[in-house]
Amino acid sequence: MSVYTRIAPVVEIRGAVKHYQAPEGHVVRALDGIDLSVGANEFVTLLGPSGCGKTTLLRTVSGFEQLDGGELLIQNKPMNNVPAHRRPVHTVFQSYALFPHMSVGDNVGYALEVQGVGKTERRQRIGEALELVGLEGLERRKPGQLSGGQQQRVALARALIDRPALLLLDEPLSALDRQLRQSMQRELKKLQHELGIAFVFVTHDQEEALTMSDRIVILNGGLIQQIGTPTEIYDRPANAFVAGFIGESNLFDVSVVAVNAGVAQLRSEQGDVLHVPATQLQVGQKLQAMLRPEQFQLDSVGGNSAALEGIIEQTLFVGKDFEVSLRTAHGMQVKAVIRDTGRHDLHRLQPGSSLQLRYALDGVHLLDEAKQ
Ligand SMILES: Nc1ncnc2c1ncn2[C@@H]1O[C@H](COP(=O)(O)OP(=O)(O)OP(=O)(O)O)[C@@H](O)[C@H]1O
Ligand SMILES: [Mg+2]
């Protein structure tokens, strides 16, 4: 339970199932039993590979698709049989989906017009919504007379004008170039915070997910792999899929070969030994051990530490960091990112040299294979 959902969830999804009959004959399990609550003013991101069910989940919440099973509540009201236009939800799409023949003002005010809001009030609220997204004064333009970033802002203003309880955003920034995308990320996050509207945001971009979200939902094959804060997902991935999907990682198949004095020895399939704190480990247990490349250091890391030793196969200079590929005597490959290396240390990173990569014992994250 996050701090947000403990107060009052805006959306509750319980056991959501959506299966498609594919024209090729088989059934696609797009959503295979999804449980998710989103709290008021929470920014939740759906992240996962192409085809994992992100868009399907948004479409069932917005009402463009019906669930085959499970329950959907928005603000505590059952929504399964409520048509899309009666749900307190709007969607912003990657493609903007603006009406090309209508002015910016008419696009933004469309929902109010449908609701029968009078012209004077409409004009005032259109002005406010455009101000919110930094487009004041452009009411009369047509979408074709705006840049991509400006069109995306119009789509955002249109979705926010009647202050929905929930805004769904399906890869809204992916058509923008990197710089614009980063400034829109900051603006969106600020806007979300100020308006107090819950956002469910879809992206392919893990960096975007890590920087923007209160919580991230990792999906694969219509199933939730993990829900957690960005640091939980990054530091303590629930399984090998999440560990591999978010960030770079070294993932070793190991078994516990010895436990003494509070330290356990783990032996990799190749024969290398890793050391970890021995909490609740038993000899013979099979696990996966994860170490992020940036957890390695050349010298002492402070506290209880150990090292993996090997020959450097490759060193790449990437800005201020060095990416080092090392192979141990047993043949295990280890990726390390060495930060803040003084230039006097450079000779230690030459390919062909022998190197010790030190790590803190309590930084090793263990994945229990039996739980997967
Ligand atoms: N109308 C449909 N008929 C049959 N299969 C569908 C239909 N819509 C989606 N699917 C399938 O359902 C699965 C989930 O699709 P969805 O669009 O939710 O994926 P996604 O996570 O949004 O992917 P992407 O990142 O590529 O946008 C995919 O395997 C897709 O092929
Ligand atoms: Mg999609």
Query: Over 70: is that where the pLDDT of 44 sits?
Result: yes
- Rounded Cα distance between 191 and 98, Å, is 21
More confident: 273 or 22: 273
pLDDT grade for 318, boundaries at 50, 70 and 90: confident
Looking at residues 126-144, what average pLDDT do you find?
A: 91
Q: 27 CB less than 6 Å from ligand 1?
A: no
Domains of the chain and any CATH numbers: 3-245 (3.40.50.300), 250-371 (2.40.50.140)
- Strand 43-47, strand 215-220: pairing: parallel
- Position 4 scores a pLDDT of 65
Average pLDDT, the chain: 91
Q: How far apart are the first and last CA of the chain?
A: 22
- Position 303 scores a pLDDT of 79
* DSSP sequence for 42-72: -EEEEE-STTSSHHHHHHHHHTSS--SEEEE
- Reported residue count of the chain is 372
CA-to-CA separations, 41 to 207, 214, 303, 306, in angstroms, rounded: 21, 10, 40, 43
What's the pLDDT tens digit per position in 249-281? Answer: 999 999 999 999 889 999 999 999 999 998 889
- Position 6 scores a pLDDT of 60
Retrieve residue 127's tokens.
């002005």
- Position 217 scores a pLDDT of 98
- Rounded Cα distance between 174 and 258, Å, is 49
Query: Over 70: is that where the pLDDT of 162 sits?
Result: yes
Determine if residue 315 is left, alpha or beta; phi over 0 gives left, psi from -120 to 50 gives alpha, anything else beta.
Answer: beta
pLDDT grade for 5, boundaries at 50, 70 and 90: low
Q: Which atom of ligand 1 is nearest to the CA of 21?
A: 4
Q: Which atom of ligand 1 is nearest to the CA of 57?
A: 18
Q: 218 CB less than 6 Å from ligand 1?
A: no
- Position 344 scores a pLDDT of 65
- Position 7 scores a pLDDT of 67
pLDDT grade for 317, boundaries at 50, 70 and 90: confident
